[in-house]
Every structure is written in structure tokens, then in C-alpha cells.
Amino acid sequence: MSDLFNDNDTENLDKNNSTPLENEAGEPSNGVGEKSEDNIHSEDTFNNGGQAPIDGDYVNNNKTTIEASNDYEAQANQINSNAPPTPNNYTNSGYAPTQQNTNEPQNNIPPQNTYNNQSAQNPYMGYNNQANQQPYGTPYYYKGRLYYMQTPYSTPPKKKMATSVKVFLICLISLFAVCFIGLIAFCGYSVMNISNNNYKIIPDFPKSSSSSNSSEKDTQPNLADPNGPSISYNETPNTGDANAQTAFEKLSPSVVTVSEYSSDSSSKSIDDSSNDGLSGQGTGIIISNDGYIVTNSHVIGDTKQNKIVVTLKNGEEYDAVIIGYDTRTDLAVLRIDKTGLQSAEFADSTKISVGQDVIALGNPGGINYSNSLTKGIISALDRTVSSSSVLYIQTDAAINPGNSGGPLANLYGQVIGITTIKVVDTEYEGMGFAIPSATIKEIADDIIKQGYVSNRVRVGVTGRAISESTAEAYSVQPGIYIATFSDDSPLKAQDVQEGDIITYIDDVKVTSFSIFYSELAKHQPGDKVTLKIYRPSEDENKDGETFDITITLLEDNGETQADS
């Protein structure tokens, strides 16, 4: 078992930024405990919830249309004077009207798409010239479209591309790829690749050394205010003009740009116009006229140590303080020293319905495209994504890099969610996800008043999820592999060791963080739960040991959010 996990790949189960070793489909990543471009691990927390931060690549599957050249067509017509000429009314539009032509070849075969590489006849590929058939290169019609058979004449050899041109194209493609990846890293939104139905969450912000490797706690003082504001709901009108234009005019003054500067550039002043140290940009929503703003936790880098600058719609910039963040729900609350702001109006997300028109506002590509609007519908409700315990709103409104933390709103300009995740895959389009306003209110109100989310539990261990497939590959049982314990972990007193695996919680089989989190979410601090522990045998020829323990869940008083 010593090779099962590397020390650098363990997740903190008392830290909220969770990314499981395997995807929800249970497929192993690039080897257990290894990181790859499609499976980027971050530390996680064993508490009653989980983080969903959303990556993959856009791929265009362009179809190629093959047409015979005019020269080949002329050559073919010289062979057979009976060949029908190209219609005079044909234009290069991809469409030609159906013609009745007695000279059409018999048994013309329309182009057919193949499925799973099955054989299919295709006029582009040609066939043997049988009796009474027109010669190759002659156009024919099928259902109003003009097709060309492949010419039998030898195709002229392709001109070799000059080496200098090849080098230029390679450099151009490489530059484009680097720019695209840089855009994703710079502009905040979480991307999810679901190729082959595998859910993979890829953080859009690379963790700086201060936030990924340090075990020090955030040192900012508690800025919570027990008398601080709360998010309130407004009734959605049943009448009146509801459209995207009026909704935008109402909501856009409450949408801001959130810029994150890594901790090593904390001395940067907002008067400095350079982008030195700028790690990313996302979106935020003003929730009170005295400067409180809600955004995604990943937009601020999941830490209190980074410098945050907020830019209002009118271009004014303000340093922001981080009141608190919760990576389990991917929400954070900021505050700027400004009064008289126009706060957004919220509506109750429990009253929305599938098919309802919605708009999304944000900063796709960063501040240069701030307050961009896209429109769509609510595609589904109560969606789960990967290891998160949040039930998301699914929408087909376009969500782009930089939209994270921005509002998803109805056509009355009332916020019903915060955009946070997008599915990126060649076979999927229009799948974005937003945190419902009901969750936003619950989490943000707690953070404002006490700096952390109340009634959370923890078990005091760090580790990684082992899926069914990974467990089979390593001849162990699926569950949560325990890497380390906190000083107050109740498991330490139960003879549990590092390297043991939690396989059940209260008779519920554990194969992912989402299952474990959903069970923890049913409990309060002080509740007792039963865990089944599997201890792998050091002898490969012998089965491991299984035993049960009962522990008392610890209260999370912000400890998991204090770790950077």
C-alpha cells in the first residue's frame, strides 16, 4: 500500500476545496495519485458538503465538402457528350433545385453517414463505371443537392509546403493554444469535461504556492458582523414588461468585476495600472448598498491571502476585504468601502420552473467585456455535479470564462442564481450550472454574520476517494483512503491508522466524496456515526482486515476555511 498514493496527492477532508481522485463515473485518472491535465486534484474537506468548481477543451468537428474542379468536369464532359451540363441557375450555395434528367446514372446512391465505422456507399468515394452510366466527374442530383463523383483521372500531386510555412503554421497553432489556455486560467469559471460520461472538475485558477502548498492558516482578522445585512427575496411580478433589455438595465449596475492578485503581489495598489500579479478575473453581485458583494470562492483563489480589487460598472476601483468563503458551495462574501451602491434584487429559486427564460451577466474574457449579457432558459433543476452537494440550476444560457460569480436572473432582473460551472465537451453544448439563490442566501448570511457557515461537521482527516475501478486495480476496497489525521480527530482514539480506508458510513457504501458529504450533511455537531474501516494487508496473498468504529462528529467553527 505504500505506492497507492503519493504524499503530495492527498486531499484535506477538513478543507473545502474538493476534487476527487476519480471522476463520478468511477474511472481512474492518469494513475492513482497522479495529476494530469484532465484530472487536477486539490485538497478537500470531510464535512457535510462539497465543492463543485467545473475544464476540458472546445473542439470543432468541421465537416469537409468535396467538390470536383471545373477542369476535371470539363475533361469528363469531353469523354461523353451526353453528360448533362451544370445547371445555369446553380450557385455555390450548397443547394440546387431538383432536376428531372433522363441521363442520370442508374442507382445513384446518396451520401450516407457511417455509424461506428460501418460500411456505407458514398458517391464521394466512386464506384465501377458500369454500362449506361455516366462517366466520372459528371454531376448528378439527389433530393435537390448537387454531387460530384470522384474523378478516375490521377490527382495531381500536392505541392509541398515550404518548410518556412510549416514552421510558421506550427508556431501560429501553438500560440493560439497557449492564448486559449491562458484565457481559461485568467478568467474565472469552472469547466467540466464529461467525455464518455466522466465528470471531471478542473479549477480555472492555478493554485499559487501560498495557497496550495502552505499549511499556514489565513491570518486576516474575523470581519464578520452579527448585525450585518441579509439577502431578502422579492416577489416576482405576475404582470408587467418582462424582457432581457429591461432586466439588463435593472441588474447591470449591481454587477462588478472581481480581480484576484496573488499573495506575492499584495503590495500592489489599485492606482498601479499594470497587471503584475493578476491571477484572474471573475464577476460579483452587490447584495447591499454599503458594499457587501457575493461571488464564487474560486474567483478569489479559495483563500483570504490574495489581494482582491472590485471594479464597479462606472469604472471605479476599490480594494476589497474577504469576509469569508466556503469552498464546499463555492461561495465567498467581499466588502468594499463604499456606500450608496445599487444592490441586486433576489428572487426565491424554489419558485422557478423548467423552461423559464433567464439571462446571465458577467465579464467573459475579463474586464474588457464586462457586463455582457446572454439569454437562455432553465433546462433543469436540482442537478448534482461531481462531488458537490449543491443542487444546481442547469441552463443553456452561454457561460464563458469570466462569468463565474455573476448573476443568473429572470426577465424581471431578479437574481435566481450565481453562474459557476460549464460543461465542455465535443458532444455536449449549452450545459451551464448556477448555484440557486436559496443556497446563496443561506451561505452568504452565515458568512456575513459569523465569518463561516454554521452547523457544519468534520471528522479531522485528509485523504482521497478510491472508486470501484481503482480499488479493483489495487486489490483493495473502494472508499476514502486516509492519509493524515488532525490533532483532534476522533478516529485517532479508535485505533484507525494512516492508510486505512473508510468504506461505509452508517451502512451507506462510500465510493466518492459526494456520497460521504451527503451523509455528513444529515448530521449536526455532536452526532454519532458508524464508520466501517478496511485495513489492507501488507501481504498481497492475504485479505485485509475490516472493523467498525463509532465516532462523534466535530463542529466546524471555520477551521476548514481558515486553512489557505
Tell me the pLDDT tens digit for each residue of 283-302. 999 999 999 999 999 999 88
Q: What is the pLDDT of residue 558?
A: 73
Nearest to 433 by CA among 416, 414, 410: 416
Q: What is the pLDDT of residue 270?
A: 38
End-to-end Cα spacing for the chain: 29
| The C-alpha cell that represents 536 in the structure block | 489492507
Q: What is the pLDDT of residue 540?
A: 79
Q: What is the pLDDT of residue 161?
A: 52
Q: What is the pLDDT of residue 56?
A: 38
d(CA 220, CA 322): 8
Q: What is the pLDDT of residue 12?
A: 56
Q: Which of the residues are catalytic? A: 298, 330, 404
Length of the chain in terms of residues written = 564
pLDDT in tens, the chain (564 residues): 545 555 444 555 654 434 344 444 444 444 444 444 443 333 343 444 444 343 333 334 443 333 334 444 444 444 444 444 444 444 333 344 444 444 444 444 444 443 444 433 333 333 444 444 443 333 333 333 433 333 333 444 545 555 454 445 545 554 544 444 343 333 444 444 333 333 322 233 223 333 333 333 455 677 899 999 999 999 999 877 889 999 999 999 999 999 999 765 444 443 444 456 788 899 999 999 999 999 999 999 888 889 999 999 999 999 999 999 998 899 999 999 999 999 999 999 999 999 999 999 999 878 888 889 999 999 999 998 866 778 999 999 998 888 899 999 999 999 999 998 877 776 777 789 999 999 999 999 999 999 989 888 989 888 888 989 889 888 899 999 999 998 899 998 888 999 999 999 999 999 887 788 788 888 999 999 999 999 998 887 888 999 999 999 998 877 665 443
| The C-alpha cell that represents 549 in the structure block | 468504529
Q: What is the pLDDT of residue 91?
A: 39
d(CA 110, CA 514): 50
Grouping H, G, I as helix, E, B as strand and the rest as coil, residue 186 is helix
d(CA 451, CA 221): 10
CA distances from 438 to 58, 175, 347, 411, 445 (A): 32, 43, 9, 18, 11
Q: What is the pLDDT of residue 312?
A: 96
d(CA 512, CA 184): 27
Q: Is 191 left (phi over 0), alpha (psi -120 to 50) or beta?
A: beta
| The C-alpha cell that represents 44 in the structure block | 478537500
Q: What is the pLDDT of residue 516?
A: 86
d(CA 471, CA 478): 5
Q: Determine how many CB atoms are found less than 10 A away from the CB of residue 206.
A: 13
Which CATH homologous superfamily contains domain 7-46+459-562?
Answer: PDZ domain (2.30.42.10)
d(CA 108, CA 147): 10
Quick: pLDDT tens for 147-161.
333 333 344 454 555
Q: Calculate the CA 239 to chain-centre distance.
A: 36
Q: What is the pLDDT of residue 263?
A: 66
| Cα–Cα–Cα angle for 405, 256, 16, rounded to 5 degrees | 30
Q: What ranges do the domains of the chain cover?
A: 7-46+459-562
